[in-house]
A and B are shown apart, each in its own frame.
Chain A
Amino acid sequence: DTGVSQDPRHKITKRGQNVTFRCDPISEHNRLYWYRQTLGQGPEFLTYFQNEAQLEKSRLLSDRFSAERPKGSFSTLEIQRTEQGDSAMYLCASRGAGASYGQYFGPGTRLTVT
């Protein structure tokens, strides 16, 4: 399978706990995105990496959120001190160089904070 993969697919956690999600992009793609999708809404941009550099962060990404892409390959998204409002689907996407390329999405990680 050469698509974008995400792990875990589902995560249930208690409020106040920390969670970490992983995304493995398509191998030749150097651009990586994180989005968040809540019920009944379209995905909303969170952050963007080009290789290992995090070049843009959305205002949605509060101080409790941190993302890394240490070697320009896989990426992690960590949420500290989770809140119920963090419950959502977290989507990762990657694309190749050049704006004409579409973004290819992984299956997402569904987070439920109880």
Chain B
Amino acid sequence: AQKVTQAQTEISVVEKEDVTLDCVYETRDTTYYLFWYKQPPSGELVFLIRRNSFDEQNEISGRYSWNFQKSTSSFNFTITASQVVDSAVYFCALTFYGGATNKLIFGTGTLLAVQP
């Protein structure tokens, strides 16, 4: 069975602090994709990143960076120098690469509150 766990329910930081959101996944599949989505108060899920199981290189995009470690089944997300606009719920998700559907399995999300 596939499962995504985001143990941090809520995180509160002060602007300009760095923050890391944890994601741990379970799957028996050898080929899969991992995703991060942002859900601001408006409700729309915004796609942030996709990572396939063959590529363990870390990725950086501006203030965002992602650390993928297959050995610990983790795909953590770090925001550097957080800003108030980063306040949102962040979801980690998993999908099986070879499936016909490629439906996403989501974690329960982490609510990030960035205080000014």
Q: Which residue of A lies closest to B107 (CB)?
A: A42
| In the complex, number of A-B residue pairs with CB atoms less than 8 Å apart | 65
Asked whether any CB of chain B lies closer than 8 Å to the CB of A45, the reply is: yes
A38 to B44, CA, bound (A): 14
- Chain A nearest CB from B9 CB (Å) reads 8
A91 to B101, CA, bound (A): 16
Interface string of B21-64 (1 = CB under 8 A from A): 00000000000010101000011111100101000000000000
Tell me whether A56 and B45 are in contact (CB under 8 A): no
B97, B103, B105: residue with the most chain A Cβ atoms closer than 10 Å: B103
Tell me whether A43 and B45 are in contact (CB under 8 A): yes
Tell me whether B45 and A91 are in contact (CB under 8 A): yes
Contact of B44 among A44, A95, A100, A106 (CB under 8 A): A106
Interface string of B90-116 (1 = CB under 8 A from A): 010101011111111111110000000
A interface, over-half SS: strand
Tell me whether A102 and B100 are in contact (CB under 8 A): no
- Chain B nearest CB from A75 CB (Å) reads 15
- Chain B nearest CB from A52 CB (Å) reads 16
Tell me whether B35 and A107 are in contact (CB under 8 A): no
Q: Which residue of A lies closest to B104 (CB)?
A: A103
A93 proximity list for chain B (CB < 8 A): 45, 104
Q: Which 8 A-B pairs have the closest CB atoms?
A: A42-B106, A105-B45, A45-B103, A107-B44, A48-B101, A102-B47, A56-B101, A102-B50
Question: Residues of A at under 8 Å CB distance from B?
Answer: 31, 33, 35, 40-45, 48, 50, 55-56, 89, 91, 93, 95, 99-100, 102-108, 110
Mind listing 6 A-B residue pairs with CB under 8 Å? Answer: A41-B108, A42-B106, A43-B45, A89-B43, A105-B46, A105-B47
